[in-house]
Amino acid sequence: MTKVGVLLSGCGVNDGAEIQETVITMLALDRAGVEMVLMAPNIDQMHVINHYTGQEMNEFRNVLVESSRIARGNIKDIVEVSGNDVDALIIPGGFGVTKNLCDYAMAGPECSINPDVYRLVTEVHLLQKPIGAICIAPAMMAKILSEQDESAKMTIGSDKTTASDIKAMGSTHVLCSVSEMIVDKEKKMVSTPAYMEALSIKEAAEGIEKLVAKVLEMV
């Protein structure tokens, strides 16, 4: 059975993985009859946001523990997973990608990547297995590829600042509507804007479902 890794960054759009993007991804994978390998790094979140008020909270949470909420407990510490364990990898968005998996939210193009995240993504890429990057995740992918003197075509939709940062990191940003995706066949990378552009869950779902289908087609 095909195994697809899903890399989570917490639970909640403002400080973790975007829940709706993650669930749409999981539903599409489940409907396709593939096995999901949900994973997250066992590290503290950068900070905790009250999603009701939007204010930072004076508490600490763990990325793996919070991600397990979405996974219903069926999740692995990323250190337990190698590129040989999955046939593809999909990274949902959410600010957790840019705060917990890397520090792009603070450092921009000069960001650094969590070592375990860098290792796994690099292993999957070097094994020439497809990677799907949703919402803001392409910004992290651009940095990871730049560390290997590589680049890819990708999209985060139409946000000029992030598009400029992707270009600064050496990759090519392509404008894309929420219902579509950008495919780099050579690099085996697929990206879609999702909530970088979406105004509703059905809009986010359209592009994500296409991305999942394309990633599975490339396996």
Dihedral sign for Cα 10, 12, 18, 19, please: positive
Give the tokens for residue 147: 């560390």
DSSP, collapsed to helix, strand or coil, labels residue 62 as strand
174 near 180, Cβ under 8 Å?
A: no
Dihedral sign for Cα 68, 70, 76, 81, please: negative
Q: How far apart are CA 189 and CA 153, in angstroms?
A: 8
DSSP, collapsed to helix, strand or coil, labels residue 40 as strand
Name which of 81, 75, 84 is nearest 17 in CA terms.
75
Write down the residue that tokens 């990677």 correspond to. Answer: 131
132 near 218, Cβ under 8 Å?
A: no
The yes-or-no answer on residue 135 being catalytic is yes
Q: Which entry of 11, 111, 135, 176 is annotated as an active-site residue?
A: 135
Q: How far apart are CA 162 and CA 20, in angstroms?
A: 22
Q: How far apart are CA 43 and CA 63, in angstroms?
A: 6
Between vectors from CA 193 to CA 155 and to CA 148, what angle results, nearest 5°? 40
Which residues does the annotation mark as catalytic? 135
